Amino acid sequence: MSGAAELLAGGASVIHLQITRVQGSSPREEGAEMYVTARSVAGTIGGGAAEWQALARARDMLAGGQMQAQLDIALGPELGQCCGGRVQIALVRLGQAQRAAHLARLDGLTRPELLILGAGHVGRALARIATALPWRVRLVDPRAGELALAPDGVQTCLTPLPEAEIASAPPASAYVITTHDHGLDFLATLAALRRGDAAYVGLIGSATKRARFARFAQDHGGGVDITPLICPIGAAGLGDKRPEMIALMAAQEIALALAEAAPASTTQAALKA
């Protein structure tokens, strides 16, 4: 939650909102949180009228100097919401020590890593989507010109040896291989599969390309298991080759794989961030 860290590190007064209890159905779970200043917001407790009501209460606290409050909100038709549940929200103005504690907690959150090998149309589209998700995203390519087109805020890596970036990635990372060269694709895919600890390995292409990679792995892989490989990725398997659609569907595949690979507590902490 880089936005939250920026708010906490700034000089403006901050109200921390957190769902402390959920009864019935709710857009967000207990523990979901957001940070509010007079001008900015980071995070969400579910959106809609309930969040707007909580946001207004937080701004009232900032204007009036109140230190803490609690809201009990029914998510019913009167708010234009059909969840039918009820949420309790704690609102606390953060002092300096509390701000430091929240910053330390946010810094300590473990975020899974997504390496996108290839900064072409699909790679950039996926990076754009992934930056809004609770992942560390790196876009890797040997072409400086393509990396220069990367979306704002995406970490880029210019290297002729993407296999080295794969080797140094943390355990349970996700790898999407979508380079400009089939040979480079195959080498990077083989490097990711050889690790044996990847949460997701996806290769851009088709069923024919997967068959070609299988023969390559048989000849050069030293018995590596290619069963975990996802190829084609995303919407390409449905015949839709638009980069944005492939990226959107691939992001869903990656999210499911990372959730299955991570301990439940880690996944929930990252989602709340």
pLDDT by residue, tens only, the chain of 273 residues: 458 888 999 989 999 999 999 988 888 889 999 999 999 999 899 888 889 999 999 999 999 999 999 999 888 655 555 556 889 999 999 999 999 999 888 776 668 999 999 999 999 999 999 998 888 899 999 999 999 999 988 999 999 888 889 999 999 999 999 999 999 999 999 999 999 999 999 999 999 999 999 999 999 988 899 999 999 998 766 778 899 999 999 999 999 999 898 754 343 444 344
In whole angstroms, what is the distance from residue 230 CA to residue 249 CA? 12
* Residues 245/234, Cβ–Cβ less than 8 Å: yes
Backbone angles phi, psi at 42, to 5 degrees: -135, 135
Q: What's the helix, strand, coil split of the chain in %, to 5?
A: 45, 20, 35
Containing 35, the helix (H) or strand (E) segment is strand 33-36
**Domains identified in the chain and CATH numbers:** 2-108 (no CATH), 113-272 (3.40.50.720)
The pTM is what? 0.67
Residues 6+ apart with CB under 8 A from 17: 33, 34, 35, 36, 45, 54, 55, 58, 89, 90, 91
Containing 19, the helix (H) or strand (E) segment is strand 15-23
In whole angstroms, what is the distance from residue 18 CA to residue 32 CA? 6
- Closest to 140 in 3D by CA, of 124, 159, 122: 159
Helices (DSSP H) in the chain: which residue ranges?
2-9, 48-64, 96-108, 121-130, 144-147, 162-167, 182-195, 207-220, 243-261, 264-272
* Torsion angle of C-alpha atoms 114, 117, 123, 127, degrees rounded to 10: 30
Residue-wise burial string across 210-240, b where 16 or more C-beta atoms lie within 10 A, e elsewhere = bebbeebbeeebeebebeebbbbbbbbbeee
- Closest to 178 in 3D by CA, of 129, 219, 136, 236: 236
- Closest to 202 in 3D by CA, of 260, 150, 255: 255
* Residues 228/103, Cβ–Cβ less than 8 Å: no
Cα-based distances in Å from 165 to 60, 123, 141, 156: 48, 16, 10, 11
Q: Which long-range contacts (CB under 8 A, 24 or more apart) does 179-183 make?
A: 179/117, 179/118, 179/120, 179/141, 180/118, 180/120, 180/143, 180/146, 182/209, 182/212
